[in-house]
Structure 1
Amino acid sequence: WTDPAGNVIPSNELEVSEPGTYTLEILNTNTGCSAVDEMVITNDGQTAPEVAIATPSPITCTNTFATLTSTVTPNGGTYQYLWSVVGGGGNIIGPTDQAVTQVNAAGIYQVSVTDTNNGCFDIVEVTVVTDTIAPVANASNPTPALVITCATPSVTMGGDGTSVGADYTYQWTTVANSGATLPTPNNIFLAEATSAGSYILTVRDVTNGCLSRDTAVITADTISPVIPNVMAEKITCDVTSVTLDASATTPNTGITILWTGTNGAPSPTDQLITTATVAGTYTLTVRNNTNGCETSKDVEVGINQDPPTISIATPPLFSCAFPSVVVNASATGPVANFSSITWSTQDGGTITPPSGALSITVSAPGTYELTVVRADNGCTATGSATVSPANDTPVADAGPDFNIDCGEMTVLDGSGSTAGNYQWTNISGGAAPNPATAQNPAIDAPGTYRLLVTNPANNCMDADTVVVTLVNTLGNANAGPDQDLCGDMTTLNANLPAGATGLWTSVSSAVIATPDQGTTDVTNLRNGSTTFVWTLSAPGCVNYSADTVIVVSSGKPEANNDVLNIGADTRSGSVNVTSNEVLTGITNFEATLLGTPSFGVIDSFANNTLYFSVGIGAEGSAELTYQICNLDCPGQCDTAIIVINVEDDGKEPELPNTITPNGDGMNEALVFDVLLSNPAEEFPNNELIVFNRWGDIVYQAKPYTNNWQGTNSDGEELPHGTYYYILRLNIGNREIIRGDVTIVK
């Protein structure tokens, strides 16, 4: 069918509602032939109603239903209405037989309007949509966590993905009793939280009234470090620095530390334990690097550096009637207050006791000095008291110390002494003053001289000393540099200034060729250190200067024979060949074995020790020569002998039965302990004969030296298997060993 509008409708029957010409075409699909006819439909003069539905508002979160309003033309007729849902999904909540109804779900709705006067009708459809999509509310991002700290007193809330734009409104509220404080302002998307707690973000879409909520939980980390009370010692004369220990601070990691002080900072300034060297107030500030919270605490460092106050009573006069005088400083304080009490004098007599007491007894006039140290702070003070002589006490003054040259004649000066009897003596070196009873006697040599002055009226005495020092114009002795040498002789080289004589001496067995010459040969040196002294003299100055030279000789070592005894119960032993050597002055040496013993096995020779073993049934003696050399002196060597004595164990030597000549270094050859453990001269004509299983001789050796490795007499390898041998040790004594051996490869 083709309708008046030109629409093709493939159907055998056609229901029409409009006038016009309708064309029918029938096609024979077998032949391809067709036939066409037309039908004209006319209107009987009745008019169908025309229906229109106003476009409804969408269903939203605030408008939960939509009103569908239909209008009919012509107006004023009598119409019958029927509302229905096209397809699925819609829902009519209003009347279905009225011009206006209500729906609460999206869908396609149609209304059929029939003119009750002529039965004509019209059907129209309308689509209702919903707009209930809620906005996105994200109060905070999952990372980083929102934490209020001392360094960050506020945090910004509002997470990624939240709906933004002019169509949305925002509202922040708090959860009751969570500790949260309402942000200001609270109607913006990104709001500032200043306290920990729970905050609710409400986002509303103003176009559809839909809203969403999300909660942000803000935490707080505002705990400040805890600094313990720090106690400090006082600065004293003994304690010049004190430790400030705040190591118990919590936390003690992840923190920044700063010490300051009223009189300068301690050192270091950035550690919990620091050192202060001056008194004052020190402030420790600790900052938690995680949250920026800080705590400060003061530490007082006191000072106690007051010195003691010395008070010494005026001592009485010293006289012959009172040969000792008490010097009393008890007013200085109790003895227990002081850690040290010491007395000294430069020109006085004996002090009793010289320490530990504040009251002392002295045996001569002079100035006495007291030094005390406070026990509580280590501070020191010094005071002095002078003990003066009475008028009848003589005063000896030997004059100031002075110098003289070799051979110079000079006089001692006692003119500063009081009148009386004089007696000079030389108490150290020098020569006898002449005359010894004169006030100013003559001397011609250096030394220490003593003047004793006696008051003949009461026999009171006083003494003084003077030191006379030699001025050396010739030059000091120089024995030359110390020597290290190989051998037992050397040459000494010393200086010999003009006008002086010299002499070489030594308390040793060394022979000095020309002792009075600066350069001389020396022989018969022993290993080790030898000291030589070169002494210079001049007219009037005997032995005025001396110097020493040390000669270290490292010559030939002295080797001594050693003995190694191996008993019947032990088949091995060791001996250190250097334990009895004479190695004086030799520290770098080496011992070496020369040759091998006539029997037995040298297991090793290490650290100058021989490790030696023999097999079962071995006995006898052997000798082994060794050499010991001084490595610092080429050619300086000596030799000695190790005597090895092996006791008979009363057993027969073990016989071998297998060899494995495969090149691994183990069990390669046929070894007989009887040959290994006995001297070679014990069996000089021994002979080994080896047979195969058919009795053919495959190997023969005379003498046999424990070296058969499974070959025939031509050196060719024999196949593995069992072979038979005869070892003729001493045919005359019927010493013959028979056995079998298996070659395994």
Structure 2
Amino acid sequence: MQRLNKRSDYSRGSVTNQYNCTKPISILFRIKDQKPVTFKAELLSCNDFTMCFKTDGTYEGKILWNFGSGLEIDTSTQATPCFKYNNSGKYQVTLTNLNAECPFIKESAEITVPEIGDSIVTVSIKQDICQNSDVCFSITGKYFGNLKWDFGNPASTSNSATSPDPCHTFTAAGSYIVSLKSENTVCPFKEVKTNITVTPKFVVNPLANQTVCEGKDATLNASSNDSLATYSWFDATGKLLGTGKSLTVNPMTAMDITLIGLNNKGCKDSTKVMISTFKFNYTVDLPKVYCPKTDYQIKLVIANPENYTYVWTPTDIIVNGGTTNQPIFMAATGKTIKVVITNKATGCSETREITPVIEAPLIYSFSGTLCNDQSSTLNLNITNSSNYTYVWSPTTAIVSGGTTNSPVVKVTQGQVLKVLVTNKTTGCAEELSYTAQVLPQVTVTFTEPNIEIKQGASTDISVKNPLTGGTYTWSTGEKGTSIKVTPFNTTTYTVTVSDTNGCTGSGQITVNVRVIPCSDKDEYLPNAFTPNGDGKNDILYVKSNAITELEYVIFNRWGQEMFSTNNINEGWDGRYQGREMSPDVYAYYIKGTCLNGDKFIKKGNVSLLR
């Protein structure tokens, strides 16, 4: 069978007749492209649910449409059919090529039959006579899809809406054209335009709150955007105080007054005003204790401090702010401070006397055992230490607890630490300094600084001149001043010592391991031995410094086993079952495993001599 690789290609072969005569032939084949075919569906009109279909792509032969409606007649063989569905919704439509030769692949797709509404809808409005800038809209008629309202009020931040029954507040009086459009791309209803007229809302202008001294009158004047409006004044209980554009009251205490205006359409609006009787109401923000040799501030906590004037005395200890509610003074004992406060609006004044108390200086000491360049606890001893905050510096020397009176520090001899101590109650702060006095550096040396062993051997490592009471911990997990080790390779060991003060030091020592090679050339067996009882060369041993496992066998010339062992310390004495063997050449077989895990096999001959 021949595969054709081109759209037009020849297939060559031969034919043979009954006389075995053969002739070559060539046949031209033409291959047709198989291209996909898709389709589209569109609504025929807005009168019913008829969908028209159109293919996209070329094909041969007949086609079969299946419209997926579930109706009794649900198919068509027309090239561009139209089909009437009963309802809107989603349907699975299938297109099949009935051509038996090279049909296109069956195409199946989901189509949407759109919903159909009225071509014309109407808009109704609801507009209050007094609040006619607030207009609500509603729709009469059947529609589908999204809506878009344009209220014709570009000055508004909400000039559009999409809900079916929106409300809109127009920003100013005037005439507006409100439009409603359907966002449905299929069968939208006709745009609806509605005229809206907005008249000004009746508004009573607000009144400014007033504050008067006790016994003084307060006069209020009403106004609005309607010159013909009438006015009534009421207190907080609803009692009528008066009518007309003006009202004068003489309040003994603070009072709330409501002004109600009424225009000729019957629309109302109101505003409230508060008349306060002036009374000084402030507190003095003053610590119980002031800091020695430090400027301090007195704060008069009062509402709207800019509404007052302040005169402080004596002037000789005022640093600045002598005409404010927050002056700064020099700390001075035996001084009484006075302030005269005057309300700018009413002229009411009050005099207040203040006597400050000066705080005593800190009494402190430092303690703690400090190890050289190691984490150690430094204690700042102060009575009632929890009454203070602490900030230590430099931060590079603080390991932890930098905001406590017992930080963990890491310093060297003579290094200076500073701590800012602040009283939580008074805010008084003092910076203290401490020059570090540290213990000598803890060191570790070894009795033998250079150790070398062969692979597989053991050695002792010992600390030279160990500290009395010191605790020594090795990197192996062992404790003590010496350990025995058997490293397979060159290894570095670390020992850490902690003295009785908690100071630590460490040392390292490297044990160099001399590696013994492993091969059949490094295992020695003599080529002859003389088991004659003279004590010389009587036993045939395998000699090696690297073997950990051994299989050692001796055979005679006929392959009979004379001797075998797995112990490198055992050898052949020239006997078999207690009988001396005659001089001859014997074969040996050695199989072993070395210290490094390598394996080897060695074979050869050995002569037994007598």
TM-score, structure 2 length as denominator?
0.24
TM-score, structure 1 length as denominator?
0.21
Task: Find the structure with the greater CA-based Rg.
Answer: 1
